[in-house]
Amino acid sequence: MKKIFLFTIFPQFFDCFKNTGIVSRAIKRGIVSIETINIRDFATDKHKTVDDVVYGGGPGMLLKPEPIFRAYDYLVSKGHKPYILITEPWGRKFDQDFARELSEKDEILIICGRYEGIDERVKKIVNEEVSIGDFILSGGEPAALVILDAVIRLIPGVVGDRESLKVDSFSDGLLGYPNYTRPANFRGLEVPSILTSGNHKLIESWRRWESLKRTYYKRKDLLEKVNLSEDDLMMLKAIKKNISFEEFLELKKKWKKNKKEKK
Ligand code: SAH
């Protein structure tokens, strides 16, 4: 079982997440556990203080190191050795590769910041800083939710049909292809006829084409990082020339014929 720990001052933030959908099922089936640890419980003073003013001056408050270190000592004393993340706007940008790496760890701890942030000395126990994007949240909890949701669905056994993970956007470096469900004609809007043709090879080829097209138009940067086959490159060339899939199939036939004749 994968163990996920969260250090937070708002444990209730995760209740809905733990009780909903895929995550809730994964917990019930014993594939993952999510333990929220309220760092306030590890504060030592009478008022259970977790924050304090910033040295050198400046606005707002910072999370104090002591409750966090004490909560960490507690985990270690229980024999845990989690991979430790801390949410920070300047951290490593979270993406599908990062999610995949984390899905392979046995234990993960995410330390959620609040207020103006966290005392820098906490970094001593941290493996990586993580950001979910170039914007400022009021706390690390929503970031932790996003991260855990993406990670948990990659853990074997969590998503029933592993095939569905393979066709997700980013799983092979490209964006996903368009999908349709019944009815085949909705208010005059038709499903592409290829999808109802029953020709699986053609459907596969059309989906690849659409993935490449979507990636080319929406996220060109991704194309530089994927390994493209000879067929992909041929498709991409046609996409760049604004040729339709049907025209492409015709052209491909001609190319193949020419090649044979040359031989
Ligand atoms: N003073 C900080 C912002 C603090 S926001 C600064 O100058 O950047 C409060 C907390 O929210 C942070 O400590 C961090 O844990 C979390 N947070 C804010 N934006 C985030 C983001 N984009 N990704 C991950 N965590 C974020």
Name the residue among 76, 156, 137, 77 with its Cα closest to residue 109: 76
Residue 97: which H helix or E strand, with range?
Answer: helix 96-103
Do 2-152 and 185-262 fold alike per CATH? no
Task: Give residue 39's pLDDT.
Answer: 98
Omega before 59 cis (within 30°)?
A: no
* 120 in catalytic set: no
CATH superfamily of 185-262: tRNA(m1g37)methyltransferase, domain 2 (1.10.1270.20)
Task: Give residue 38's pLDDT.
Answer: 98
pTM assigned to the model: 0.94
Q: Is the CB of 87 under 6 A from ligand 1?
A: yes
Of 41, 52, 168, 172, which one is the catalytic site residue?
A: 168
The closest residue, in CA terms, to atom 23 on ligand 1 is 131
**CATH ID of 2-152, from 3.40.718.10, 3.40.1280.10, 3.90.230.10, 2.60.40.420:** 3.40.1280.10
Given pLDDT bands bounded at 50, 70 and 90, which one contains residue 162? confident
Residue 256 above 90 pLDDT?
Answer: no
* Alpha-carbon gap, residue 157 to 28, rounded angstroms: 12
The closest residue, in CA terms, to atom 20 on ligand 1 is 89
Of 89, 100, 207, 208, which one is the catalytic site residue?
A: 89
What is the DSSP code string of 43-74? --STT---EEEPTT--SSEEE-HHHHHHHHHH
* 183 in catalytic set: no
Domain spans, the chain: 2-152, 185-262
In one letter, which amino acid is 172?
D
How far is the centre of ligand 1, averaged over its atoms, from the C-alpha of 114 (Å)?
A: 7
Q: Is the CB of 118 under 6 A from ligand 1?
A: yes
Q: What is the pLDDT of residues 41-63, one digit of tens each?
A: 999 999 999 999 999 999 999 99
Report, as an integer, the average pLDDT of 236-241. Answer: 97
The β-bridge relationship of strands 185-186 and 107-111 is unpaired
* 221 in catalytic set: no
* 153 in catalytic set: yes
Substitution candidate for ligand 1 out of 88, 110, 126 with most atoms within 8 A of CB? 88
Given pLDDT bands bounded at 50, 70 and 90, which one contains residue 165? confident
Q: Is the CB of 126 under 6 A from ligand 1?
A: no
* Percent of all residues in the chain with a pLDDT value above 90, rounded to a whole number: 92
How far is the centre of ligand 1, averaged over its atoms, from the C-alpha of 212 (Å)?
A: 35
Given pLDDT bands bounded at 50, 70 and 90, which one contains residue 93? very high
Q: How many CB atoms lie within 10 A of CB 113?
A: 25
Q: Is the CB of 146 under 6 A from ligand 1?
A: no
Task: Give residue 242's pLDDT.
Answer: 97
Residue 263 above 80 pLDDT?
Answer: no
Residue 103: which H helix or E strand, with range?
Answer: helix 96-103
